[in-house]
Amino acid sequence: MPKRPDVAAGILGKWPQIQGRRWIILQPGARWLNKRWPAEHFAELARRLAAKNGDLNFAILGGTEDEALGRVIAHAVPGRSLDLTGKLSLPEMVEWVRFSELMVTNDTGPMHVAAALGKRVVALFGPTEPARTGPYGQIEHALQLDLPCVPCMRSRCTYFKPLECLRALSPAAVFDSVGKRLGEAV
């Protein structure tokens, strides 16, 4: 994916605070509702990462349909979060990913963008199969629970504990994985 210096310059003009800071991308949305790790889990992950790493900042990506998710997460670490849901064009999203150190994401298109850019990814999987749709070249960093229903490959959950495949994936487990990807002891 070629660099777009004009787009990057536009981003720096809109959000000058990104320069010289460490950014983690959080991608809470997904096309299927049952592919979304709970926003409250993303918020808890951000709180844990912020407490452990005083220099980390969080950019929350997503479309307009993800704005409620973005607000929940940004509220968890005010002053260190930038809620960009519904505010970016596709080229701007790509350049934001390029500015970041790592992305924590559901099984989404932006996950593939991050992988294509060679960014570190921690991918959260529920009903889909990481071997089929996981981040290229980083499949070992896809987290998925071992439940009888996983992967179901269905757009609607039919398990007796709805959305358990993602709800039971703890913020602590994702925190540990992020720490390892960043090369930091947690």
Q: Which of 54-58, 144-148, 150-154, 182-186 has the lowest mean pLDDT?
A: 182-186
> Residue 9: how many CB atoms within 10 A of its CB?
11
Average pLDDT over residues 171-181: 95
pLDDT band at 184 (very low <50, low <70, confident <90, very high): low
Residue 153's region, left for phi above 0, alpha for psi from -120 to 50, else beta, is left
Q: Which residue has the higher pLDDT, 162 or 132?
A: 132
Indicate whether 186 pLDDT > 60.
no
DSSP SS3 for 10: helix
pLDDT tens-place string over residues 27-76: 999 888 788 999 999 999 999 999 999 899 999 999 999 999 999 999 99
Residue 81's region, left for phi above 0, alpha for psi from -120 to 50, else beta, is beta
Is 36:113 a contact under the CB 8 Å cutoff?
no
Q: H or E segment at 74?
A: helix 67-76
User: Position of tokens 């350049």?
Assistant: 95
Average pLDDT over residues 166-181: 92
Q: What is the value of pTM for the model shown?
A: 0.93
Q: Which residue has the higher pLDDT, 151 or 84?
A: 84
Q: What is the overall mean pLDDT for the chain?
A: 91
Q: What is the pLDDT of residue 20?
A: 87
Query: What does each C-alpha distance from 134 to 3, 76, 125 come to in angstroms?
Result: 24, 28, 8
Rounded to whole angstroms, how far apart are CA atoms 81 and 85? 12
Indicate whether 185 pLDDT > 50.
no
DSSP track, 103-134: EEEESSHHHHHHHHTT-EEEEE-SSS-HHHHS
Q: What is the pLDDT of residue 59?
A: 97
Is 96:51 a contact under the CB 8 Å cutoff?
no
Q: What is the pLDDT of residue 154?
A: 78
pLDDT band at 139 (very low <50, low <70, confident <90, very high): confident
